[in-house]
Amino acid sequence: MTAMRRFEGHGVLITGAARGIGAATARRFAEEGARVLVTDVDLAAAEKTVGTLRELGARAEAFTCDVADRTQVEAAVAYAVEAFGSLDVLVNNAYRCTSDAPLFEDEEDEDWALDLDVTLSGAYRCSRAALPHLVASGRGAIVTIGSVNGIQDFGNHAYSAAKAGLMSLTRTLAGHAAERGVRVNLVAPGTVRTTAWEGRDDDLAVAAGLYPLGRVGEPEDIAAAVAFLASADAAWITGTTLRVDGGVLAVNTGFRQVRRRPGDDGEEG
């Protein structure tokens, strides 16, 4: 168990927290003393995650929340405040990602709209509902899960556009919320081993070779970054995008491998 207890008495709401990055983040906060509301459209899975948190001795609750529904979002926030006495941290993790059509002109309007509605507008709805309570807590923080897709091309047109929008929302909301004592930041993960990659171990092995650190990320890698940005350790950080990506955006691994081949003269063109 994590030795630090930076979130004793904090109320934390995490969207899309039944599995993957969301579940790992819920566990990290629980290990550090937080009271955690695990929200998801899949209530049974959320309750299973809550069960594992309670085994740690944590105070945790499950709540159904579709971030595309304003009424459900506001109900989740109200539940967290009532159950925990305060809402101190919001983690916007819920997303939707539709596979691209073979040709861009064949993309469907509905898929585009739904990806943006859940991924981008969902974070907007949750932040809007939570902000007054985060202000009232006196130590409020919002951490949103973005993606390297919002910075560089890795495919998925709508998802990537939504993730890029989240970076912009992080900056503008940070500027608005700063004078009210609330910090707003974003974590941009690279490839992370979650259920989205289930049954694709060979693909993950190939992806690992593209990362300078030699592996893909684990959900716990992202959870650690989220906890840092939400904590007092990051008290003078707001409006930032923290890349947690194994160096993939900093280093062109494929090109470096080509340069290491026999006969390389070390010149660049």
Q: Which residues form the catalytic set?
A: 159, 163
**SS3 per residue for the chain:** CCCCCCCCCCEEEECCCCCHHHHHHHHHHHHCCCEEEEEECCHHHHHHHHHHHHHCCCCEEEEECCCCCHHHHHHHHHHHHHHHCCCCEEEECCCCCCCCCCCHHHCCHHHHHHHHHHHHHHHHHHHHHHHHHHHHHCCCEEEEECCHHHCCCCCCHHHHHHHHHHHHHHHHHHHHHHHHCCEEEEEEECCECCHHHCCCHHHHHHHHCCCCCCCCECHHHHHHHHHHHHCHHHCCCCCCEEEECCCCCCCCHHHHHHHCCCCCCCCCC
Q: CA end-to-end span of the chain, whole Å?
A: 50
Residues in Cβ contact with 132 at an 8 Å cutoff, skipping those fewer than 6 apart: none
Q: Among positive and negative, which fits the CA dihedral 235, 240, 241, 244? A: negative
